[in-house]
Structure 1
Amino acid sequence: MQDNPLFSLAGRRALVTGASRGIGLTLARGLGQFGAKIVLNGRNSEPLATARDMLAGEGLDVTTAAFDVTDQDAVIAGVENIEYEQGPIDILINNAGIQRRAPLDQFSRADWDALISTNLNAVFFVGQAVARHMLPRGRGKIVNICSVQSELARPGIAPYTATKGAVKNLTKGMATDWARHGLQINGLAPGYFKTEMNEKLVADQVFTQWLCQRTPAGRWGNVEELVGAAVFLSSDASSFVNGHVIMVDGGITASV
Protein backbone atom coordinates (compact mmCIF):
# COMPACT_ATOMS: atom_id res chain seq x y z
CA MET A 1 0.00 0.00 0.00
CA GLN A 2 2.90 2.37 0.65
CA ASP A 3 3.79 2.14 -3.05
CA ASN A 4 0.23 2.74 -4.22
CA PRO A 5 0.41 5.51 -6.86
CA LEU A 6 -3.20 6.63 -6.47
CA PHE A 7 -2.32 9.86 -4.65
CA SER A 8 1.21 10.27 -6.01
CA LEU A 9 2.01 13.47 -7.91
CA ALA A 10 5.53 12.37 -8.85
CA GLY A 11 6.65 13.77 -12.19
CA ARG A 12 3.77 16.23 -12.46
CA ARG A 13 4.12 19.99 -12.64
CA ALA A 14 1.70 22.16 -10.65
CA LEU A 15 1.18 25.88 -11.18
CA VAL A 16 -0.19 27.55 -8.04
CA THR A 17 -1.39 31.14 -8.32
CA GLY A 18 -1.24 33.52 -5.38
CA ALA A 19 1.42 31.25 -3.92
CA SER A 20 3.79 33.54 -2.04
CA ARG A 21 1.87 33.12 1.25
CA GLY A 22 -1.26 31.81 2.93
CA ILE A 23 -3.36 29.07 1.40
CA GLY A 24 -1.49 29.16 -1.91
CA LEU A 25 1.89 28.58 -0.28
CA THR A 26 0.48 25.84 1.95
CA LEU A 27 -1.08 24.02 -1.00
CA ALA A 28 2.13 24.37 -3.01
CA ARG A 29 4.09 22.80 -0.16
CA GLY A 30 1.54 20.01 0.19
CA LEU A 31 1.57 19.10 -3.50
CA GLY A 32 5.36 19.22 -3.48
CA GLN A 33 5.46 16.79 -0.56
CA PHE A 34 3.47 14.36 -2.70
CA GLY A 35 6.04 14.61 -5.49
CA ALA A 36 4.86 17.47 -7.70
CA LYS A 37 7.21 19.98 -9.28
CA ILE A 38 5.89 23.32 -8.10
CA VAL A 39 5.68 26.62 -10.00
CA LEU A 40 4.84 29.48 -7.66
CA ASN A 41 2.98 32.42 -9.19
CA GLY A 42 2.38 35.92 -7.90
CA ARG A 43 2.68 39.51 -9.09
CA ASN A 44 5.91 40.34 -7.28
CA SER A 45 9.18 38.51 -7.73
CA GLU A 46 10.65 39.25 -4.30
CA PRO A 47 8.08 37.46 -2.09
CA LEU A 48 7.97 34.62 -4.62
CA ALA A 49 11.74 34.22 -4.33
CA THR A 50 11.46 34.09 -0.54
CA ALA A 51 8.76 31.41 -0.78
CA ARG A 52 10.78 29.47 -3.35
CA ASP A 53 13.89 29.47 -1.18
CA MET A 54 11.89 28.29 1.82
CA LEU A 55 10.32 25.36 -0.05
CA ALA A 56 13.58 24.49 -1.77
CA GLY A 57 15.18 24.39 1.68
CA GLU A 58 12.61 21.72 2.58
CA GLY A 59 13.81 19.62 -0.35
CA LEU A 60 11.00 20.41 -2.78
CA ASP A 61 11.36 20.97 -6.52
CA VAL A 62 10.18 24.55 -6.93
CA THR A 63 10.47 27.43 -9.39
CA THR A 64 8.69 30.77 -9.80
CA ALA A 65 6.73 32.54 -12.53
CA ALA A 66 5.85 36.16 -11.77
CA PHE A 67 2.92 37.56 -13.75
CA ASP A 68 -0.32 39.40 -13.03
CA VAL A 69 -3.24 36.96 -13.20
CA THR A 70 -5.67 39.84 -13.81
CA ASP A 71 -3.89 40.74 -17.08
CA GLN A 72 -4.96 38.26 -19.77
CA ASP A 73 -2.03 39.00 -22.08
CA ALA A 74 0.42 38.55 -19.20
CA VAL A 75 -1.27 35.28 -18.25
CA ILE A 76 -1.04 33.89 -21.77
CA ALA A 77 2.62 34.86 -22.03
CA GLY A 78 3.41 33.52 -18.56
CA VAL A 79 1.77 30.15 -19.19
CA GLU A 80 3.46 29.86 -22.59
CA ASN A 81 6.82 30.52 -20.96
CA ILE A 82 6.28 27.82 -18.31
CA GLU A 83 5.18 25.30 -20.94
CA TYR A 84 8.17 25.88 -23.20
CA GLU A 85 10.88 26.67 -20.67
CA GLN A 86 10.00 24.22 -17.90
CA GLY A 87 7.56 21.68 -19.33
CA PRO A 88 3.87 20.83 -19.39
CA ILE A 89 1.58 22.11 -16.64
CA ASP A 90 -0.27 19.04 -15.37
CA ILE A 91 -2.04 20.69 -12.41
CA LEU A 92 -3.39 24.20 -11.91
CA ILE A 93 -4.38 25.47 -8.48
CA ASN A 94 -6.34 28.66 -9.22
CA ASN A 95 -5.87 30.27 -5.82
CA ALA A 96 -5.22 34.01 -6.23
CA GLY A 97 -7.87 36.06 -4.49
CA ILE A 98 -8.57 39.17 -2.42
CA GLN A 99 -11.18 40.36 0.05
CA ARG A 100 -12.85 43.75 0.49
CA ARG A 101 -15.30 44.47 3.33
CA ALA A 102 -17.84 47.32 3.51
CA PRO A 103 -21.60 47.81 3.92
CA LEU A 104 -23.18 46.94 0.58
CA ASP A 105 -24.86 50.35 0.15
CA GLN A 106 -21.45 52.01 0.58
CA PHE A 107 -19.37 49.55 -1.44
CA SER A 108 -17.16 51.39 -3.92
CA ARG A 109 -16.98 50.69 -7.64
CA ALA A 110 -13.19 50.42 -7.35
CA ASP A 111 -13.43 47.65 -4.75
CA TRP A 112 -16.12 45.86 -6.76
CA ASP A 113 -13.94 45.94 -9.87
CA ALA A 114 -10.90 44.73 -7.92
CA LEU A 115 -12.83 41.74 -6.59
CA ILE A 116 -14.21 40.79 -10.00
CA SER A 117 -10.80 41.18 -11.61
CA THR A 118 -8.85 39.09 -9.11
CA ASN A 119 -11.39 36.57 -7.86
CA LEU A 120 -13.25 35.82 -11.09
CA ASN A 121 -11.53 37.13 -14.21
CA ALA A 122 -8.20 35.64 -13.14
CA VAL A 123 -9.74 32.19 -12.68
CA PHE A 124 -11.04 32.35 -16.24
CA PHE A 125 -7.83 33.81 -17.71
CA VAL A 126 -5.47 31.30 -16.10
CA GLY A 127 -7.82 28.36 -16.47
CA GLN A 128 -8.32 29.03 -20.17
CA ALA A 129 -4.62 29.61 -20.87
CA VAL A 130 -3.60 26.40 -19.11
CA ALA A 131 -6.44 24.36 -20.61
CA ARG A 132 -5.39 25.32 -24.13
CA HIS A 133 -2.25 23.25 -23.51
CA MET A 134 -3.94 20.48 -21.53
CA LEU A 135 -6.67 19.82 -24.09
CA PRO A 136 -4.41 18.55 -26.91
CA ARG A 137 -2.63 16.31 -24.39
CA GLY A 138 -5.95 14.82 -23.24
CA ARG A 139 -5.21 15.20 -19.52
CA GLY A 140 -4.99 17.79 -16.77
CA LYS A 141 -6.25 18.84 -13.37
CA ILE A 142 -7.66 22.28 -12.54
CA VAL A 143 -8.60 23.09 -8.94
CA ASN A 144 -10.37 26.41 -8.49
CA ILE A 145 -10.32 27.76 -4.95
CA CYS A 146 -13.88 28.60 -4.04
CA SER A 147 -15.14 29.43 -0.54
CA VAL A 148 -17.81 28.75 2.01
CA GLN A 149 -19.10 32.04 0.57
CA SER A 150 -19.75 30.18 -2.68
CA GLU A 151 -22.84 28.96 -0.80
CA LEU A 152 -23.39 31.35 2.12
CA ALA A 153 -23.39 35.09 2.70
CA ARG A 154 -22.68 37.28 5.69
CA PRO A 155 -22.89 41.06 6.22
CA GLY A 156 -20.30 43.28 4.59
CA ILE A 157 -18.98 40.90 1.93
CA ALA A 158 -21.78 40.54 -0.62
CA PRO A 159 -19.51 41.34 -3.62
CA TYR A 160 -16.94 38.77 -2.43
CA THR A 161 -19.76 36.26 -2.11
CA ALA A 162 -20.84 37.08 -5.66
CA THR A 163 -17.36 36.37 -7.01
CA LYS A 164 -17.02 33.07 -5.18
CA GLY A 165 -20.47 31.96 -6.24
CA ALA A 166 -19.47 32.71 -9.81
CA VAL A 167 -16.25 30.71 -9.44
CA LYS A 168 -18.32 27.73 -8.29
CA ASN A 169 -20.47 27.85 -11.43
CA LEU A 170 -17.48 28.62 -13.68
CA THR A 171 -15.94 25.42 -12.30
CA LYS A 172 -19.03 23.49 -13.32
CA GLY A 173 -18.94 25.12 -16.74
CA MET A 174 -15.27 24.27 -17.26
CA ALA A 175 -16.00 20.65 -16.37
CA THR A 176 -18.98 20.55 -18.71
CA ASP A 177 -16.86 21.78 -21.64
CA TRP A 178 -13.56 20.04 -20.93
CA ALA A 179 -14.26 16.74 -19.11
CA ARG A 180 -14.81 14.96 -22.40
CA HIS A 181 -11.24 15.84 -23.35
CA GLY A 182 -9.72 14.15 -20.31
CA LEU A 183 -9.53 17.08 -17.89
CA GLN A 184 -10.87 17.11 -14.34
CA ILE A 185 -11.95 20.53 -13.08
CA ASN A 186 -13.18 20.84 -9.52
CA GLY A 187 -13.44 23.37 -6.72
CA LEU A 188 -11.98 23.39 -3.24
CA ALA A 189 -13.95 25.55 -0.82
CA PRO A 190 -12.32 26.51 2.49
CA GLY A 191 -14.48 27.51 5.41
CA TYR A 192 -13.04 29.83 8.03
CA PHE A 193 -9.28 29.36 8.24
CA LYS A 194 -6.53 31.14 10.09
CA THR A 195 -4.92 33.11 7.25
CA GLU A 196 -3.49 36.56 6.69
CA MET A 197 -6.77 37.55 5.02
CA ASN A 198 -8.67 36.65 8.19
CA GLU A 199 -6.26 38.09 10.78
CA LYS A 200 -8.73 40.72 12.01
CA LEU A 201 -11.52 38.17 12.34
CA VAL A 202 -9.29 35.73 14.21
CA ALA A 203 -8.35 38.52 16.64
CA ASP A 204 -12.00 39.48 17.14
CA GLN A 205 -13.06 37.47 20.18
CA VAL A 206 -16.76 38.08 19.57
CA PHE A 207 -16.53 36.79 16.00
CA THR A 208 -14.38 33.82 16.99
CA GLN A 209 -16.88 32.85 19.70
CA TRP A 210 -19.72 33.09 17.18
CA LEU A 211 -17.78 31.04 14.62
CA CYS A 212 -16.91 28.29 17.07
CA GLN A 213 -20.56 28.03 18.10
CA ARG A 214 -21.76 28.10 14.47
CA THR A 215 -19.26 25.52 13.16
CA PRO A 216 -19.96 21.89 14.13
CA ALA A 217 -16.22 21.27 14.52
CA GLY A 218 -16.15 24.11 17.02
CA ARG A 219 -13.00 25.89 15.84
CA TRP A 220 -11.13 27.73 13.10
CA GLY A 221 -9.50 25.59 10.43
CA ASN A 222 -5.74 25.31 10.00
CA VAL A 223 -4.53 25.80 6.44
CA GLU A 224 -2.67 22.48 6.45
CA GLU A 225 -6.06 20.79 6.65
CA LEU A 226 -6.73 21.83 3.04
CA VAL A 227 -3.84 19.80 1.65
CA GLY A 228 -5.54 16.39 1.65
CA ALA A 229 -8.45 17.57 -0.50
CA ALA A 230 -6.08 19.41 -2.86
CA VAL A 231 -3.93 16.31 -3.33
CA PHE A 232 -7.03 14.19 -3.96
CA LEU A 233 -8.30 16.57 -6.62
CA SER A 234 -4.83 16.80 -8.22
CA SER A 235 -4.15 13.06 -8.33
CA ASP A 236 -5.41 9.97 -10.15
CA ALA A 237 -7.65 9.31 -7.15
CA SER A 238 -10.13 11.83 -8.62
CA SER A 239 -10.02 10.57 -12.21
CA PHE A 240 -13.85 10.47 -12.50
CA VAL A 241 -14.60 13.47 -10.29
CA ASN A 242 -15.66 16.49 -12.30
CA GLY A 243 -17.48 19.73 -11.63
CA HIS A 244 -17.69 19.24 -7.87
CA VAL A 245 -16.89 21.65 -5.07
CA ILE A 246 -15.43 19.99 -1.98
CA MET A 247 -16.24 21.91 1.17
CA VAL A 248 -13.50 21.83 3.80
CA ASP A 249 -15.34 23.84 6.41
CA GLY A 250 -15.74 21.91 9.65
CA GLY A 251 -19.38 21.27 8.73
CA ILE A 252 -20.58 24.88 8.65
CA THR A 253 -22.46 24.43 5.34
CA ALA A 254 -24.07 21.23 6.63
CA SER A 255 -25.86 22.76 9.58
CA VAL A 256 -28.28 25.52 10.50
Structure 2
Amino acid sequence: MYPQFDLTGRVAMITGASKGIGFGLAKAMAHAGAKVAVAARNGEELDQLVSEIRADGGDAVAFILDVRNVKEIDSVINGVKMHFGRLDILVNNAGLGDNHPAVDVTEEDWDNMMNVNLKGLFFCCQSAGKIMLAQGYGKIINMSSQASVVGIVDHAVYCTSKGGVNQLTRVLALEWSSRGVNVNAVGPTFTYTPGNSERLDDPAYLEGVLGRIPNRRLAEISDVAGAVIYLASPASDMVTGTTLMVDGGWTAQ
Protein backbone atom coordinates (compact mmCIF):
# COMPACT_ATOMS: atom_id res chain seq x y z
CA MET A 1 0.00 0.00 0.00
CA TYR A 2 1.36 3.40 -0.98
CA PRO A 3 0.98 6.59 1.09
CA GLN A 4 -1.94 8.80 0.11
CA PHE A 5 -1.55 12.58 0.18
CA ASP A 6 -4.83 13.38 -1.59
CA LEU A 7 -7.35 15.51 0.34
CA THR A 8 -10.25 15.00 -2.06
CA GLY A 9 -13.58 14.98 -0.24
CA ARG A 10 -12.15 16.39 2.98
CA VAL A 11 -13.28 19.68 4.52
CA ALA A 12 -10.51 21.91 5.83
CA MET A 13 -10.66 25.14 7.81
CA ILE A 14 -7.69 27.52 7.87
CA THR A 15 -7.55 30.43 10.32
CA GLY A 16 -5.53 33.55 9.61
CA ALA A 17 -6.06 32.85 5.92
CA SER A 18 -6.35 36.39 4.58
CA LYS A 19 -2.64 36.85 3.85
CA GLY A 20 0.83 35.35 4.01
CA ILE A 21 1.26 31.71 4.93
CA GLY A 22 -2.46 31.17 5.60
CA PHE A 23 -3.41 32.49 2.16
CA GLY A 24 -0.95 30.11 0.52
CA LEU A 25 -1.98 27.16 2.68
CA ALA A 26 -5.62 27.57 1.71
CA LYS A 27 -4.77 27.55 -2.00
CA ALA A 28 -2.45 24.56 -1.61
CA MET A 29 -5.02 22.53 0.31
CA ALA A 30 -7.70 23.32 -2.26
CA HIS A 31 -5.26 22.21 -4.98
CA ALA A 32 -4.81 18.95 -3.05
CA GLY A 33 -8.58 18.41 -3.29
CA ALA A 34 -9.96 19.76 -0.03
CA LYS A 35 -13.03 21.91 0.29
CA VAL A 36 -11.77 24.89 2.26
CA ALA A 37 -13.29 27.29 4.75
CA VAL A 38 -11.04 30.31 5.12
CA ALA A 39 -11.29 32.49 8.20
CA ALA A 40 -9.74 35.80 9.26
CA ARG A 41 -10.69 39.33 10.25
CA ASN A 42 -10.29 40.92 6.80
CA GLY A 43 -13.30 40.11 4.65
CA GLU A 44 -12.04 41.75 1.45
CA GLU A 45 -8.83 39.71 1.43
CA LEU A 46 -10.81 36.53 2.15
CA ASP A 47 -13.14 37.27 -0.75
CA GLN A 48 -10.12 37.60 -3.03
CA LEU A 49 -8.79 34.26 -1.79
CA VAL A 50 -12.13 32.53 -2.34
CA SER A 51 -12.32 33.96 -5.86
CA GLU A 52 -8.85 32.66 -6.70
CA ILE A 53 -9.61 29.19 -5.35
CA ARG A 54 -12.89 28.99 -7.25
CA ALA A 55 -11.19 30.23 -10.43
CA ASP A 56 -8.85 27.25 -10.11
CA GLY A 57 -11.81 24.90 -9.82
CA GLY A 58 -11.83 24.57 -6.03
CA ASP A 59 -14.60 24.88 -3.46
CA ALA A 60 -14.18 27.60 -0.86
CA VAL A 61 -16.19 29.73 1.52
CA ALA A 62 -15.14 32.64 3.76
CA PHE A 63 -15.93 33.36 7.40
CA ILE A 64 -15.06 36.47 9.38
CA LEU A 65 -13.31 35.36 12.57
CA ASP A 66 -11.34 37.01 15.35
CA VAL A 67 -9.83 34.12 17.33
CA ARG A 68 -9.65 36.31 20.44
CA ASN A 69 -13.44 35.97 20.69
CA VAL A 70 -14.31 32.50 21.98
CA LYS A 71 -18.03 32.80 21.24
CA GLU A 72 -17.18 33.80 17.70
CA ILE A 73 -14.94 30.74 17.34
CA ASP A 74 -17.79 28.38 18.21
CA SER A 75 -20.19 30.20 15.90
CA VAL A 76 -17.83 30.10 12.91
CA ILE A 77 -16.69 26.51 13.34
CA ASN A 78 -20.27 25.32 13.71
CA GLY A 79 -21.06 27.41 10.61
CA VAL A 80 -18.39 25.54 8.66
CA LYS A 81 -19.93 22.22 9.67
CA MET A 82 -23.38 23.44 8.67
CA HIS A 83 -22.11 24.63 5.29
CA PHE A 84 -20.15 21.52 4.33
CA GLY A 85 -21.81 18.90 6.54
CA ARG A 86 -18.59 18.00 8.37
CA LEU A 87 -15.15 19.29 9.36
CA ASP A 88 -12.14 17.03 8.80
CA ILE A 89 -9.10 19.30 9.06
CA LEU A 90 -8.32 22.37 11.12
CA VAL A 91 -5.19 24.43 10.45
CA ASN A 92 -4.63 26.89 13.30
CA ASN A 93 -2.57 29.45 11.40
CA ALA A 94 -3.77 32.73 12.97
CA GLY A 95 -0.97 34.28 14.98
CA LEU A 96 1.01 37.34 15.97
CA GLY A 97 4.77 37.70 15.67
CA ASP A 98 5.74 41.03 17.24
CA ASN A 99 9.18 41.25 18.83
CA HIS A 100 10.02 43.12 22.04
CA PRO A 101 13.08 43.16 24.30
CA ALA A 102 12.02 41.37 27.48
CA VAL A 103 12.54 44.45 29.65
CA ASP A 104 10.14 46.44 27.46
CA VAL A 105 7.25 43.93 27.32
CA THR A 106 3.99 45.37 28.64
CA GLU A 107 1.01 43.52 30.02
CA GLU A 108 -0.85 44.49 26.85
CA ASP A 109 1.94 43.04 24.67
CA TRP A 110 1.79 39.78 26.59
CA ASP A 111 -2.00 39.51 26.56
CA ASN A 112 -2.35 40.39 22.86
CA MET A 113 0.05 37.68 21.75
CA MET A 114 -1.16 35.00 24.14
CA ASN A 115 -4.80 35.71 23.30
CA VAL A 116 -4.15 34.95 19.64
CA ASN A 117 -1.24 32.50 19.60
CA LEU A 118 -2.31 30.30 22.48
CA LYS A 119 -5.76 31.05 23.90
CA GLY A 120 -7.44 31.48 20.53
CA LEU A 121 -5.64 28.45 19.14
CA PHE A 122 -6.76 26.29 22.07
CA PHE A 123 -10.41 27.22 21.77
CA CYS A 124 -10.32 26.61 18.00
CA CYS A 125 -8.95 23.15 18.78
CA GLN A 126 -11.65 22.58 21.38
CA SER A 127 -14.51 23.70 19.16
CA ALA A 128 -13.34 21.73 16.12
CA GLY A 129 -12.37 18.80 18.33
CA LYS A 130 -15.94 18.36 19.52
CA ILE A 131 -17.10 17.96 15.92
CA MET A 132 -14.23 15.67 14.96
CA LEU A 133 -14.59 13.44 18.02
CA ALA A 134 -18.27 13.00 17.22
CA GLN A 135 -17.29 12.03 13.66
CA GLY A 136 -14.54 9.70 14.85
CA TYR A 137 -12.09 11.40 12.47
CA GLY A 138 -10.08 14.59 12.27
CA LYS A 139 -6.69 16.18 11.69
CA ILE A 140 -5.64 19.28 13.62
CA ILE A 141 -2.46 21.09 12.58
CA ASN A 142 -1.25 23.90 14.83
CA MET A 143 1.15 26.50 13.49
CA SER A 144 4.14 26.58 15.80
CA SER A 145 7.63 27.88 15.02
CA GLN A 146 11.29 27.02 15.29
CA ALA A 147 11.13 29.57 18.12
CA SER A 148 9.16 27.01 20.11
CA VAL A 149 12.31 24.96 20.75
CA VAL A 150 15.16 27.52 20.49
CA GLY A 151 15.43 30.96 21.97
CA ILE A 152 15.25 34.03 19.74
CA VAL A 153 16.51 37.36 21.09
CA ASP A 154 13.74 39.95 21.67
CA HIS A 155 11.04 37.28 21.27
CA ALA A 156 10.39 36.24 24.88
CA VAL A 157 6.61 36.38 24.55
CA TYR A 158 6.52 34.85 21.07
CA CYS A 159 8.82 31.98 22.01
CA THR A 160 6.75 31.31 25.13
CA SER A 161 3.51 31.26 23.17
CA LYS A 162 4.86 28.84 20.56
CA GLY A 163 6.38 26.59 23.22
CA GLY A 164 2.91 26.42 24.68
CA VAL A 165 1.53 25.42 21.28
CA ASN A 166 3.88 22.42 21.20
CA GLN A 167 2.89 21.28 24.69
CA LEU A 168 -0.80 21.75 23.98
CA THR A 169 -0.39 19.72 20.80
CA ARG A 170 1.08 16.83 22.81
CA VAL A 171 -1.70 16.85 25.40
CA LEU A 172 -4.52 17.00 22.85
CA ALA A 173 -2.92 14.16 20.91
CA LEU A 174 -2.87 12.04 24.07
CA GLU A 175 -6.51 12.80 24.81
CA TRP A 176 -7.97 12.52 21.30
CA SER A 177 -5.87 10.24 19.08
CA SER A 178 -7.45 7.03 20.37
CA ARG A 179 -10.78 8.49 19.20
CA GLY A 180 -9.64 9.19 15.65
CA VAL A 181 -8.40 12.78 15.94
CA ASN A 182 -4.70 13.34 15.30
CA VAL A 183 -3.12 16.57 16.55
CA ASN A 184 0.24 17.81 15.29
CA ALA A 185 2.13 21.07 14.79
CA VAL A 186 4.38 22.57 12.13
CA GLY A 187 7.38 24.71 13.07
CA PRO A 188 8.62 26.90 10.22
CA THR A 189 11.77 28.96 10.17
CA PHE A 190 11.75 32.48 8.72
CA THR A 191 9.38 32.36 5.75
CA TYR A 192 9.34 35.19 3.26
CA THR A 193 5.91 36.90 3.16
CA PRO A 194 4.74 40.49 2.66
CA GLY A 195 4.37 40.76 6.43
CA ASN A 196 8.07 40.26 7.16
CA SER A 197 9.58 41.50 3.90
CA GLU A 198 10.82 44.75 5.47
CA ARG A 199 13.15 42.87 7.83
CA LEU A 200 14.18 40.17 5.37
CA ASP A 201 14.90 42.67 2.61
CA ASP A 202 17.60 44.16 4.85
CA PRO A 203 20.84 42.44 3.67
CA ALA A 204 22.44 42.52 7.12
CA TYR A 205 19.39 41.06 8.84
CA LEU A 206 18.96 38.44 6.13
CA GLU A 207 22.58 37.34 6.40
CA GLY A 208 22.17 36.91 10.15
CA VAL A 209 19.17 34.67 9.55
CA LEU A 210 20.76 32.63 6.78
CA GLY A 211 23.83 32.11 8.93
CA ARG A 212 21.64 30.02 11.28
CA ILE A 213 20.01 27.93 8.54
CA PRO A 214 22.19 25.08 7.21
CA ASN A 215 20.16 25.02 3.98
CA ARG A 216 21.22 28.67 3.47
CA ARG A 217 17.82 29.85 2.30
CA LEU A 218 14.56 31.12 3.71
CA ALA A 219 11.53 28.87 3.76
CA GLU A 220 8.87 29.42 1.13
CA ILE A 221 5.15 29.10 1.71
CA SER A 222 5.18 25.96 -0.44
CA ASP A 223 7.65 24.37 2.02
CA VAL A 224 5.22 24.95 4.88
CA ALA A 225 2.27 23.80 2.76
CA GLY A 226 4.01 20.50 2.02
CA ALA A 227 4.27 19.73 5.74
CA VAL A 228 0.69 20.80 6.42
CA ILE A 229 -0.73 18.71 3.57
CA TYR A 230 1.23 15.69 4.78
CA LEU A 231 -0.15 16.05 8.31
CA ALA A 232 -3.67 16.62 6.95
CA SER A 233 -3.55 13.58 4.67
CA PRO A 234 -3.97 9.83 5.26
CA ALA A 235 -0.20 9.49 4.80
CA SER A 236 0.26 10.79 8.36
CA ASP A 237 -2.35 8.62 10.09
CA MET A 238 0.33 7.16 12.40
CA VAL A 239 1.73 10.59 13.29
CA THR A 240 0.32 12.45 16.27
CA GLY A 241 1.59 14.68 19.06
CA THR A 242 4.63 15.81 17.10
CA THR A 243 5.99 19.16 15.91
CA LEU A 244 7.36 18.86 12.38
CA MET A 245 10.13 21.40 11.87
CA VAL A 246 10.40 23.11 8.49
CA ASP A 247 13.53 25.03 9.37
CA GLY A 248 16.32 24.04 6.99
CA GLY A 249 18.19 22.52 9.93
CA TRP A 250 18.17 25.55 12.27
CA THR A 251 17.06 23.53 15.32
CA ALA A 252 19.43 20.62 14.56
CA GLN A 253 22.39 22.71 15.73
Is TM-score (shorter-chain normalized) higher than 0.5?
yes
Specify which of 197, 200, 214 is matched with residue 216 of structure 1.
214
Between the aligned partners of 2:83 and 2:19, the Cα distance in structure 1 is 25
- Residue 135 of structure 1 aligns to a residue whose secondary structure is helix
Amino acid at match of 2:122: F
How do 1:13-162 and structure 2 match up within 5 A? Answer: 13-162=11-160
Between the aligned partners of 1:107 and 1:184, the Cα distance in structure 2 is 35
Specify which of 168, 171, 193 is matched with residue 170 of structure 1.
168
Amino acid at match of 2:251: T
- Residue 196 of structure 1 aligns to a residue whose secondary structure is coil
**TM-score between both structures, scaled by the size of structure 1:** 0.95
Between the aligned partners of 2:112 and 2:26, the Cα distance in structure 1 is 25
Change (3 A) 1:64 1:5: farther
Between the aligned partners of 2:83 and 2:223, the Cα distance in structure 1 is 33
Measured after TM superposition, the shift of residue 85 of structure 1 is 2.7
Partner residue, 1:197 = 195
**TM-score between both structures, scaled by the size of structure 2:** 0.96
- Residue 186 of structure 2 aligns to a residue whose secondary structure is strand
Between the aligned partners of 1:232 and 1:102, the Cα distance in structure 2 is 34
Number of residue pairs matched?
Answer: 253
1:94-138 deviations in Å (ceiling 9; x for gaps): 000011222110112111111000100111111100010110111
Deviates more, 1:111-120 or 1:200-209: 200-209
Deviates more, 1:33-42 or 1:4-13: 4-13
- Residue 244 of structure 2 aligns to a residue whose secondary structure is strand
Stretches of structure 1 that go unaligned for 5 or more consecutive residues are none
Between the aligned partners of 1:108 and 1:153, the Cα distance in structure 2 is 20
Assess if the C-alpha contact under 8 Å between 1:99 and 1:197 holds in 2. no
Between the aligned partners of 2:242 and 2:3, the Cα distance in structure 1 is 23
Change (3 A) 1:103 1:244: same
Between the aligned partners of 2:142 and 2:174, the Cα distance in structure 1 is 15
- Residue 238 of structure 2 aligns to a residue whose secondary structure is coil
Specify which of 230, 233, 244 is matched with residue 232 of structure 1.
230
Between the aligned partners of 1:197 and 1:115, the Cα distance in structure 2 is 16
Amino acid at match of 1:119: N
Task: Detail structure 1 runs of 4+ shifted over 4 Å in the superposition.
Answer: none
Between the aligned partners of 1:188 and 1:136, the Cα distance in structure 2 is 25
Amino acid at match of 1:181: R
Change (3 A) 1:76 1:63: same
Partner residue, 1:246 = 244
Amino acid at match of 1:174: L
Assess if the C-alpha contact under 8 Å between 1:143 and 1:188 holds in 2. yes
Measured after TM superposition, the shift of residue 5 of structure 1 is 7.1
- Residue 219 of structure 1 aligns to a residue whose secondary structure is coil
Measured after TM superposition, the shift of residue 73 of structure 1 is 0.6
Stretches of structure 2 that go unaligned for 5 or more consecutive residues are none
